[in-house]
Chain A
Amino acid sequence: QKEVEQNSGPLSVPEGAIASLNCTYSDRGSQSFFWYRQYSGKSPELIMFIYSNGDKEDGRFTAQLNKASQYVSLLIRDSQPSDSATYLCAVNKNDYKLSFGAGTTVTVRA
């Protein structure tokens, strides 16, 4: 079983819609959860982090964490063409490393 699993994608959404990205993790000892956005040919950019159960909102992004279900999600509201990228879920167990999912590619169509 992989440490971090994400929707296989690709995910195509119309402009203005909500994009919903899911991530599950295998280790209950995981403490910190991150979402990175990676444009083609670029490095990952941190867009959200969450440490506690519940929702965390930042602009058009909302991260949701459910530790009991070992599940973390990212919602992108009012999706824009500039949101077209690969989104990487990363998990940390306070062991000084991030474990990444394979990523979900999102395409926002105008």
Chain B
Amino acid sequence: KAGVTQTPRYLIKTRGQQVTLSCSPISGHRSVSWYQQTPGQGLQFLFEYFSETQRNKGNFPGRFSGRQFSNSRSEMNVSTLELGDSALYLCASSTGTGGTEAFFGQGTRLTVV
């Protein structure tokens, strides 16, 4: 059974650019959540999607957005990149019923220069 797949694994972008990250969940999982991990702030919740609907959103500026497709794959987009957006972006996959286990992908390491 394939795990959670995130692409790309590494990205280097320039301030002001935008970036799109992709996540394919475990087969059969309909929920995808996104998290940002930095040394200073730890793991912080960005948003969660289930059946193409955003069910919860964290405290991040509107530059951070996401969507989910009918096959449960999800993308997140960050526009007008800032240096502080440099982080490990993690996607988690779950069945989507409240409180169930979530499994993380390998992450996308974004560096903004």
Residues of A within 8 A of B (CB): 31-32, 34, 36, 42-46, 49, 51, 88, 90, 92, 94-103
Contact = CB atoms under 8 A, between A and B. Distances in A.
B45 A45 contact: no
Interface residues of B, number: 26
Contact of B33 (A36, A98, A102): A98
Contacts of A45: 104
B61 interface: no
CB-CB nearest 6 A-B residue pairs: A32-B99, A94-B98, A100-B43, A96-B48, A97-B45, A96-B56
B97 to A, nearest CB: 9
Interface of B: 31, 33, 35, 42-45, 48, 50, 55-56, 58, 88, 90, 92, 96, 98-107
Contact of B50 (A44, A51, A96, A102): A96
Given A32-B99, A44-B90, A95 B56 contact: yes
Nearest to B33: A97
Given A43-B90, A51-B99, A88-B43, A97 B58 contact: yes
